[in-house]
Structures are given as structure tokens and as C-alpha cells.
């Protein structure tokens, strides 16, 4: 097995998307919902840093995360940033996040747990007095796409700590749904699984899963 040729397809959702579309001159348009700081555990950052042909719009509602996101992508072309949360209606909403103090000060992962659900943070072992409320601007997916002036989304990436199913459902009823959708299924509620995957199947998507994420591909 020492002579086995090195893989030439990156085993990630983005890598598979590039392989399946076989894009050369054109850019892959990506919308990332829940970008956090843009670096920790994020394959999109490394692709863009290395000059991959991607036109990306990154969405993050938490002010501290958004400032970190701006620093991460400073000087990197073809990236637009929006400080919003995706929700069922336009306006404002409360998101719960971990205070950057005490045992969580400087944590790489705690900022990624921000959620519409207070209980979601408790499941991560965060104590109630370690949680703060953030009043954030919200847009529906349709409204955000209009404000971003994206004409077409080919790849939708979603990591919203339990709200992923709602965002994906919004995408599926768009006039031009994304060719590729990658979302975190780990925190979906039990009663969300079957309806969401039924909706994906009815919308002509097929998918592969790992422990945390689903990568869905529109086949027709």
C-alpha cells in the first residue's frame, strides 16, 4: 500500500463540490451562515486563503465574532461579510452566547456555541451565569440574499447551533435552490429529522452524513 497514489480530491464538502462541478475559470458562489471567527474548524477559510475560485458571502451576527471574522479575512479578495442572523422574519432577536471571561476566556470553541436556544449552551456545560444575551439583527434567507446582491447561490453552508433545519428549509423553497447544501444535523431536534430529510428528498437532493454534518447534492 506504500505506492498508493495520493488522493486528488479533498475529502470535505467544498472539495467534493469542486470535484463534482469541475469548475475551472468560473467561481463557486458560497453563502456561509454562522461564520463565527472564520477560522476555527472552517475549511472555507483555508480554501480562500489559498486562492480557490470562490465568491463568498459570510454571515455572522455576534459582534465580537464579527470583528474576529473581519480580521480573519482582511486583505482576502472575493469575500463579503454581513452582520446578521438568519431567522423566520426580519427584525431583531436574542441570541445567547458564552461570556469571554473566567474559564471560557480566550476559548476557541465557546464562541461557536451562540444559539437562539438558552438550553443549547447548557448542554455544552456552560453555566447560566456564564451566558449573556445579544440583541442581533435578523433577516430571512430571502431578504439576506437580496441585500447581499447574490444572483445565485451554488453552495450553502449552515452552522447555526440548532437552527440549521429552518435555514435549510428556507433554501429549499427558493426559486433557485443551491446545488450543494452542507449543514450541521447534530443539534436538530428529534421531530425535525424526518420532515427535513423528506423535504430534501422531495426537492431532488441526495446526501451523505458524518457524525455532525450532512452534505446534500441536488441531482435534478
Taking 60 as the threshold, does the pLDDT of residue 220 lie above it? yes
* pLDDT score for 187: 93
Place of cell 461570556: 99
Q: Is 55 helix (H, G, I), strand (E, B) or coil?
A: strand
CB 58 within 8 A of CB 82: yes
Flag whether pLDDT at 168 surpasses 80.
yes
Over range 17-38, report the average pLDDT.
79
Q: Per the structure block, which three cell numbers stand in for 7? A: 488522493
Res 60: pLDDT: 98
Residues 174, 47: contact at Cβ < 8 Å? no
Q: For CA atoms 176, 181, 187, 191, give the dihedral sign.
A: positive
User: Going from the N-terminus, what domains does the chain have, and what CATH number goes with each?
Assistant: 13-94+136-218 (3.40.50.150)
Give the pLDDT mean for 159-174.
96
Question: Quick one: DSSP state of residue 209?
Answer: E
**Residue 179 carries which DSSP code?**
S
Amino acid at each position: 500500500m506504500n505506492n498508493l497514489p495520493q488522493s486528488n480530491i479533498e475529502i470535505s464538502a467544498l472539495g467534493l463540490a469542486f470535484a463534482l462541478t469541475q469548475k475551472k475559470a468560473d467561481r463557486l458562489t458560497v453563502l456561509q451562515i454562522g461564520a463565527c471567527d472564520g477560522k476555527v474548524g472552517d475549511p472555507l477559510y483555508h480554501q480562500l486563503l489559498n486562492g480557490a475560485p470562490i465568491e463568498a458571502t459570510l454571515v455572522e451576527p455576534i459582534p465580537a465574532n464579527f470583528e474576529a471574522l473581519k480580521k480573519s479575512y482582511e486583505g482576502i479578495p472575493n469575500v463579503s461579510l454581513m452582520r446578521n442572523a438568519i431567522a423566520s422574519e426580519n427584525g431583531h432577536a436574542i441570541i445567547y452566547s458564552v461570556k469571554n471571561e473566567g474559564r471560557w476566556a480566550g476559548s476557541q470553541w465557546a464562541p461557536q456555541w451562540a444559539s437562539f436556544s438558552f438550553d443549547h449552551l447548557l448542554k455544552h456545560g456552560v453555566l447560566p451565569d456564564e451566558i449573556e444575551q445579544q440583541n442581533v439583527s435578523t433577516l430571512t434567507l430571502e431578504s439576506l440574499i437580496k441585500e447581499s446582491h447574490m444572483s445565485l447561490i451554488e453552495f450553502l453552508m449552515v452552522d447555526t447551533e440548532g437552527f440549521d433545519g429552518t435555514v435549510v428549509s428556507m433554501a429549499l423553497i427558493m426559486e433557485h435552490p443551491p446545488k450543494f447544501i452542507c449543514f450541521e444535523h447534530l443539534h436538530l431536534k428529534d421531530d425535525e429529522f424526518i420532515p427535513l430529510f423528506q423535504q430534501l428528498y422531495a426537492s431532488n437532493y441526495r446526501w451523505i452524513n458524518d457524525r455532525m454534518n450532512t452534505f446534500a447534492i441536488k441531482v435534478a
